[in-house]
Amino acid sequence: MKLLILLASCFSLNFLAAQDLAFTPLFNGKDLSGWVDVNTSPETWRVENGEIVCTGLPIGVMRSEKQYENFILEIEWKHMEAGGNSGIFIWSEGTPFSDEEPLTKAMEVQMLELEWSTIHDRTDDYVHGELFPTMGMTATPDNPRGNRSKSIEKRCLGKGQWNKYIIVAVDGMVKLSVNGKFVNGIRDSQRKKGYLCLEAEGSEIHFRNIRIMELPGGVITPEQIAPVVN
């Protein structure tokens, strides 16, 4: 309830029917029901011990069966290798951008293992929990690093340790909580409704406890909705 009150004050949402809002699991802990492999392989994604295990290869995505507009998304994740790179895409087209680019046009919420920046000699440039539009999509970062928004505090844990993201996505605005504190935001997203996608990007990552609370819709134009994937 405290989170709903915060959202009402931050986003001027109508929560008069807040008692009707509830979280729905996006992963049942047993299989990949509700998710569609877009362009990886049958070996890329599996379920073990109540977790989604992603090998990271081939690079690509697995998308939700349906599109989402305004929501609160909770997800836990942990990298298994130093320098691992992954993320979750929101408001995604749910398809690869091109034959040469296996990822998708969307807003990315990055999941970067702590040693990535050191391994790639970009210690002062990159932090985990970045928010950024991909494949030509546009948005305005709260904490700019180019077209990306970087977290203002480093809160992620390293390989083999679970991290929890809470993603609040409302009317083209995204706020990200990392392990219990909101540390990043981006706004004016070109897209306001689309698919969710989990990303395979070269290294093993695990996901669990994925659930979503759908919020009331807003004023939206057809151009702000991702095309429906048949």
User: Using one digit for the tens of pLDDT, what is the confidence trace for 6-49?
Assistant: 454 454 445 445 557 999 999 999 999 999 999 999 999 999 99
As a whole number of angstroms, the distance between CA 27 and CA 14 comes to 28
What's the confidence (pLDDT) of residue 22?
95
Burial class (CB in 10 A: 0-12, 13-18, 19+), 155: middle
Q: What is the mean pLDDT of residues 195-224?
A: 97
Q: What is the mean pLDDT of residues 54-60?
A: 97
Radius of gyration of the chain measured on its C-alpha atoms: 17
Question: pLDDT, tens digit, for every residue of 160-200?
Answer: 999 999 999 999 999 999 999 999 999 999 999 999 999 99
214 has pLDDT over 80: yes
Ordered domains of the chain (ranges, CATH):
24-216 (2.60.120.560)
Q: What is the mean pLDDT of residues 112-138?
A: 90
Joined together, the tokens standing for residue 163 give 């991290």
